[in-house]
Amino acid sequence: MTEFVPPLRDMQFVLRELCGLDAVVSLPGFDEVTDDLVSSVLEEAGNIAAEVIAPLNRVGDREGAKLVDGRVETPAGWYEAWRTLVDGTWNALPFDPQWGGMGLPHLVNTAVQEMWHSANMAFALCPMLTQGAVDAIAENGSEELKALFLPKMVSGEWTGTMNLTEPQAGSDLAAVRTRAVRAGDGTYLISGQKIFITYGDHDLTENIVHLVLARLPDAPAGIKGISLFVVPKVKIDAEGNPVGPNDVRCVSLEHKLGIHASPTAVMSFGDEGGAVGYLVGEENRGLEYMFVMMNHARLSVGVQGLAIAERAYQQARGYARERVQGRPAGSTAERAAIVHHPDVRRMLMTMKCQIEAMRAVAYEGAAAIDIAHHDADAERRAAFRRHYELLTPIIKGWSTELSVEIASLGVQVHGGMGYVEETGAAQHLRDARITTIYEGTTAIQANDLVHRKVIRDKGAGIGALIADMRALDGRLAEQAGADFAAIRTALADAVDALDGAVAWLLGPDGRDPVLTAAAAVPFLRLAGTVVGGYQMARAALAAATRLAAGEGDQGYLTAKVATARFYAEHVLPTARAWAHTATAGAAVTMGVADDQL
Amino acid sequence: MTEFVPPLRDMQFVLRELCGLDAVVSLPGFDEVTDDLVSSVLEEAGNIAAEVIAPLNRVGDREGAKLVDGRVETPAGWYEAWRTLVDGTWNALPFDPQWGGMGLPHLVNTAVQEMWHSANMAFALCPMLTQGAVDAIAENGSEELKALFLPKMVSGEWTGTMNLTEPQAGSDLAAVRTRAVRAGDGTYLISGQKIFITYGDHDLTENIVHLVLARLPDAPAGIKGISLFVVPKVKIDAEGNPVGPNDVRCVSLEHKLGIHASPTAVMSFGDEGGAVGYLVGEENRGLEYMFVMMNHARLSVGVQGLAIAERAYQQARGYARERVQGRPAGSTAERAAIVHHPDVRRMLMTMKCQIEAMRAVAYEGAAAIDIAHHDADAERRAAFRRHYELLTPIIKGWSTELSVEIASLGVQVHGGMGYVEETGAAQHLRDARITTIYEGTTAIQANDLVHRKVIRDKGAGIGALIADMRALDGRLAEQAGADFAAIRTALADAVDALDGAVAWLLGPDGRDPVLTAAAAVPFLRLAGTVVGGYQMARAALAAATRLAAGEGDQGYLTAKVATARFYAEHVLPTARAWAHTATAGAAVTMGVADDQL
């Protein structure tokens, strides 16, 4: 197994050359955040990822989380690693100093999260879910609720979970049946069963803060009758001190394809009469709160897709450099490392170029969140809010689909050794495979993109993005040479394909709910492919500018241009195919009768 | 877990409408083979697949094969299932009656193999490898060797293995180091270690016949110095009776991502001085013999890809029909089975249409083998030999790559339940993942295709196929309606894309070994996509012909046309992208310096 090396140089390149880290740290509210601070945070996080978290990845996969006498035990080393995060206040990175947060930009937190996930996806789900739970309470909870829970969740003394779905509900949260009854003292009594609860129980902390969707007896039917509650594993008094177990139980753990060390729990609330819960915000607005929070969580899962792809790439690259076998085409060497074989190189480059594209798009989304929250100008705040809301389903859906493809390529680079579990490549595929499913499947992301982000604003948001992408053409045209000519041609054609698909969505076919649902995933893949290509072109321009100025590492910057060219020749041509499938293909999706499937 | 239902109707459609079963069974040597016999063989095989082999799939995955005290134990039920195949002479299906074979066409055997693999891929590898070993001995062995080994291998009393690679060799068989020394009595003493030996040891039979590549002391270096030997696990006398253990040992089993019940062994030969081996054919011609046999084995693995995709599809379709969740787009129902959700339908159709395409191409390859072996006309024999040799790397590489993608889609259809092992969807993905690796990786297939099958004959073989595909255009033009218009347009464009890529390979760039190696896999994907589209168009025409005649099941035949249209709109558009990547993309594959990967 290859050791994880934090890709700090690529991360810094994206932060500085593509996502305007300078501008982000200059936003109001980040007065204490300096360039040096960001670099040292990333470096130190990289050390922890590589030295503390990554070494637990394999043992976590082998041992898995275990349910013993009704309590979940995490694998050896998990507790100590969690303490490292708590002691270093790593969980507090993006949060308000009022609650003990470090007040760093979301952009920086995203880069740190990427490294946690690359190092050990099963472990990193715990801080990821906890940050999501903090967001949900911080954005919607009363001051009292915030004071009671946030300090300990921000520090990581307590962790957080999301209890959304139930056996009969799946992705359809309108079908949630868990009940909440007003207890009379301002609290509620919660009863019901929740499934697929990540880190629903564990032995890392003395308390776990469950965010639970439930329905009041007098609530309206459907999604407008769902409320959000905080239900701690251990009941607390008004000062937050533990006063005994709440009526919450982990019933069982799922036996999963991957992320074995991340306990996926069936949780039972209220077997003994009702678990004490605290309402978040107002009654019956739970789903609305969840949706706000989900934008962050979905971006996090997109980053997770990027991260596991990066790890799979490092594993494959390491193996390809070490494994000596056969004579590469065109070589005179009797034997050589397989990295010199053209098809191995093709696979590695396919991985690499898409990882760089994903990172650029994900970080751009994170930067947009910072601007949307911190910019002094209300119009800019609103514009960037729309921008990250547009990017969110793309980042989640596209990056996670790619993560599965990339992790699978990683196995292929290893040949037979990739199929042997000890090598580690197969684990990345098994782990990656969940990312297109949880926090909303790719289809759910795609429908969000098509309906809420494209059709609802009549193409305004995506039209602005398309205009930005077209505006790059002039700058690409100024660059000499075959690389930029190829990038420019491929990008222009791909943007046209996207533009055409948008026009189709905004035309008469876009008013047919069956057609748009059938078109949604291909459209999302199209959008991701093109937006990724745009960022790769920007990266190539940034590199060319530095090269022309004689600045920086020439080899590194030259490779950036060549990687963008590779993306243009190997990935962007799929845009036309996705566009065709999204539009012409939608009409035939339901063409075969049910009983003839 | 959904039960396996043999897809007899689809198989019969391909056999009769697309692959000319009538013509095949009329070939010399198949005098006893009637239409009725074929149907009853398929039906009975389907029963065994569904009732005997498929129920062991899950338990095999859970228990796996185990090495206990130096002997491999197969999971519960394995032995009895193997006895069922032996007692029914199922292993003997395609072989010469001289050795106890049933003398059925390879085409029929392929359909039976498909069902074995769908039912239980880990189990079906044992008969598959045994048939491959029989082929190797039957085609190249002396009469004495054949008499000694074939009757018991054809019956399945003994099984066969392929011992090719070694730790340092991987796919590069020139690097094989296993030694063979002439014993003086006509036999040889073999010593060395072989890895990745499927069913290298097991408890199903009293003897195992290993085919082993090894090098004589005076052999030339490289691939021209490799000989092929038969090395039985148990030594035998001149009558084939067991006389005691040979010097062969199973050292360990791999812990793999999937096919847990298929023992993947590290085999050690000659630890006690040398394992007794029998030369196959002539010294130093071993690799040549292996290549002849590999064409069959590669076709078998392609069929395995098809088969596991079919099983994953059945699993996903079954779940989608049962799982009630949410309101489908455009529906007024409050809740419905997810099969009615357009994106679930899109995924199922993506699976279904490519499975039908793969089956048609694989069976066409199998029929070509029959014609190549049995036709009375020597020119036709030669032409069909070239045809199946051209199709073989496509069938193997393209079908197995699709099998991974399709099994992954199968997981996605299940949502969260797909990630839970008990559901069974994840096992299909884990099992499928090996198919692009063993019997030659996709890159190896692709280089075979590009160099030996396209460039070597200056495009004659693929040119003939392209001409056949173009010749269909007139028949497609005769059909009225939007379905055929779409199929015709998409196929014509895809064939043009293939033709352009072939021209590129035959032009100056095709003489650059680095460019062709970089282009090979995209070219293979292109070729598979287009050849599959051609077969789908033929299927649509066959269905339309029957529909026009008022024959057959109207619903079934209408669905065949709609499925071909789906393939045309959702799959064929990728042909242009693959063509671009194969040609323009090849030049940039090595563009990033090694140290910048």
The string of pLDDT tens digits covering residues A492-522 is 999 999 999 999 999 999 999 999 999 999 9
Instruction: Determine contact: B553 vs chain A, CB below 8 A.
Output: no
Residue from A282, A379, A439, A478 carrying the catalytic annotation = A439
Contact criterion met (CB < 8 Å) for B581 and A596? no
CA distance B500 to B4: 41
User: Structural domain tally of chain B?
Assistant: 3
Which ranges of B507-593 would DSSP assign to H, the alpha helix? 513-548, 554-570, 574-583
Phi, psi of B377 (to 5 degrees): -95, 120
Closest CB to B415 among A170, A345, A595: A170
Terminal alpha carbon distance of chain B: 43
First to last CA, chain A: 43
Indicate the pLDDT class of residue A373, thresholds 50, 70 and 90. Answer: very high
Looking at residue B335, what is its pLDDT?
Answer: 87
- Exposed e or buried b for every residue in A57-87, given b needs 16+ CB within 10 A? bbebbebbbebeeeebbbbebbeebbeebbe
Average pLDDT, stretch A309-327? 95
Q: What is the pLDDT of residue B175?
A: 85
Residue A171 token pair: 């992705």
Q: Which amino acid is it at B284?
A: N
A555 touches chain B (CB under 8 A): yes
Minimum distance, in Å, between the CA of residue B546 and any CA atom of chain A: 17
- Residue A569's domain comprises 441-590
Q: Quick one: pLDDT band at residue A172, thresholds 50, 70, 90?
A: confident
A257, A349, A422 member nearest B421 (Cβ): A257
Q: Do A255 and B517 touch (CB under 8 A)?
A: no
Tell me, yes or no, if B333 comes closer than 8 A to chain A by beta carbon. no
Record the tokens describing residue A20, joined without a space.
């305007």
Of B411, B418, B585, the CB nearest to A570: B585
**What is the bridge-based pairing of β-strands B242-245 and B159-163?**
unpaired
Same domain, A572 and A449: yes
Q: What does the alpha-carbon distance between residue B31 and residue A112 come to, in Å, rounded to a whole number?
A: 71
B167 in contact with chain A, both atoms CB, cutoff 8 A: no
* pLDDT of residue A329 exceeding 90: no
Residues on chain A touching B195 (C-beta within 8 angstroms) = 416
Asked if the Cβ–Cβ distance from A346 to B418 is below 8 Å, we say no
Residues A169, A50 share a domain: no
Nearest to A257 by CA among B408, B25, B368, B385: B408
Encode A198-260 in three state secondary structure. Answer: ECCCCCCCCCEEEEEEEECCCCCCHHHHCEEEEEECEEECCCCCEEEECCEEEEEECCECCCC
How far A499 CA sits from the closest chain B CA (Å)?
Answer: 18
Q: What is d(CA B410, CA B319) in angstroms, rounded to the nearest whole number?
A: 10
C-beta atoms of B442 and A254 within 8 A: no
CB atoms within 10 A of CB A217: 8
Give, in order, the Cα–Cα distances in Å from B510 to each of B397, B467, B507, B587.
Answer: 20, 21, 5, 11
Q: What is the CATH number of the domain that holds A81?
A: 1.10.540.10
Identify whether B23 is part of a domain: yes
Three-class DSSP category at A586: helix
Which among A570, A576, A596 has the least Cβ separation from residue B576? Answer: A576
Window 366-405 of B: residues touching A by CB (8 A cutoff) are: 404
Residues of B in contact with A329 (CB under 8 A): 447, 513-514, 516-517
- Of A122, A155, A188, the residue that ends a domain is A155
Whether residue A167 is found in the same domain as residue A96: no
Q: Which chain B residues contact residue A431 at CB under 8 A?
A: none
pLDDT above 70 covers a percentage of chain B that reads: 100
Question: 3-state DSSP: chain A helix, strand, coil percent, rounded to 5?
Answer: 60, 10, 25
Q: How many residues does chain A have?
A: 597
pLDDT on residue B463: 98
From the CA of B590, how many Å to the nearest CA of chain A? 7
Please report the pLDDT score of residue B172 as a whole number.
Answer: 81
Instruction: Tell me the three state secondary structure of residue B451.
Output: helix
Please check whether residue B163 touches A, CB under 8 A.
no
DSSP state of A158: S
Would the CB atoms of A576 and B581 count as touching at under 8 Å?
no
Q: How many residues does chain B have?
A: 597
The pair of structure tokens assigned to A576 is 């036309």
**Within this chain, do residues A573 and A551 fall inside the same structural domain, yes or no?**
yes
| Beta carbons of A256 and B419 less than 8 Å apart | yes
Are residues B116 and B188 located together in one domain of the fold? no
The last residue of a domain, from among B155, B176, B198:
B155
Distance CA A12, CA A557 (A): 13
Which of B415, B570, B591 faces A441 most closely, judged by CB atoms?
B415
Whether A59 is in a domain gets the answer yes
Stretches in chain B below the pLDDT threshold 50 = none
Mean pLDDT (chain A) is 96
Between A167 and B468, residue with greater pLDDT: B468
Residue B184 lies in a domain: yes
Whether B276 is in a domain gets the answer yes
One domain for residues A143 and A65: yes
Counting other chains too, the contacts that B450-455 makes at CB distance below 8 Å and 24 or more residues apart are: B450/B505, B450/B516, B450/B519, B450/B520, B450/B523, B450/B524, B451/B516, B452/B389, B453/B389, B453/B390, B453/B393, B454/B390, B454/B502, B454/B505, B454/B506, B455/B505, B455/B506, B455/B510, B455/B516
Instruction: State whether A349 and B589 contact (CB < 8 Å).
Output: yes
Same-domain status, A19 and A118: yes
Q: CB-based contact (8 Å) between B504 and chain A?
A: no
Q: Is A114 a catalytic residue?
A: no
Cβ contacts from A onto B, under 8 A: 282
The pLDDT score that the predictor gives to residue A293 is 74
Chain A contact for B530, CB < 8 A? Answer: no
Express each pLDDT in B319-376 by its tens digit. Answer: 999 999 888 888 888 889 999 999 999 999 999 999 999 999 999 999 999 999 999 9
Across the range A17-34, mean pLDDT stands at 96
B569 closest CB neighbour out of A171, A588, A592: A588
pLDDT of amino acid B193: 97
B198 and B82 fall within a common domain: no
Asked if residue A474 and residue A460 are part of one domain, the reply reads yes
What local confidence, expressed as pLDDT, does residue A66 receive?
98
**Cβ within 8 Å, pair A412-B513:** no
Q: Identify all chain B residues contacting A327, using CB atoms and an 8 Å cutoff.
A: 172
- CATH of residue B177's domain is 2.40.110.20
C-alpha distance from B40 to closest chain A C-alpha (Å): 24
CA–CA separation, B89 and B293 (whole Å): 22
Final residue before a domain boundary, out of A255, A283, A311: A283
Calculate how close chain B gets to A575, using CA atoms only, in Å. Answer: 8
Task: Give domain status of residue A388, yes or no.
Answer: no
Of B172, B254, B418, the CB nearest to A326: B172
Average pLDDT of span A344-371: 98
Percent of chain A with pLDDT over 90: 94
Average pLDDT over residues A259-282: 97
* A330 contacts in chain B (CB < 8 Å): 512-514, 517
Q: What pLDDT, on the 0 to 100 scale, is given for residue A364? A: 98
Q: Which B positions 241-270 lie with beta carbon below 8 A of chain A?
A: 254-258
CB–CB contact A349 B563 (8 Å)? no
Q: What is the pLDDT of residue A175?
A: 85
Q: Is B341 on the interface with A (CB under 8 A)?
A: yes
Cβ–Cβ < 8 Å for A159, A126: yes
Q: Is the ipTM of this complex over 0.85?
A: yes
A505 occurs within a structural domain: yes
Q: Of B3, B322, B439, B551, which residue is the catalytic one?
A: B439
Q: Which residue of chain A has the CA closest to B582? A: A570
Q: Does A166 lie in the same domain as A148?
A: no
Residues A504 and A567 in one domain: yes
- Least CB-CB distance to B257: which of A344, A426, A446? A426
Q: Mean pLDDT over residues A300-307, rounded?
A: 98
Copy the structure tokens of residue A152.
């300990």
The neighbour count for residue A292, using CB atoms within 10 Å, is 12
**Distance between CA B255 and CA B73 in Å, rounded?**
15
Token pair in block for residue B579: 């063509």
**Is residue A468, in this structure, part of any structural domain at all?**
yes
Asked if residue A210 and residue A104 are part of one domain, the reply reads no
Residue A292, pLDDT > 90, answer: no
Give the three-class secondary structure for A285. coil
Opening angle at CA A67, ends A66 and A72, nearest 5 = 85
Q: Considering the domain boundaries, does residue A125 fall inside one?
A: yes
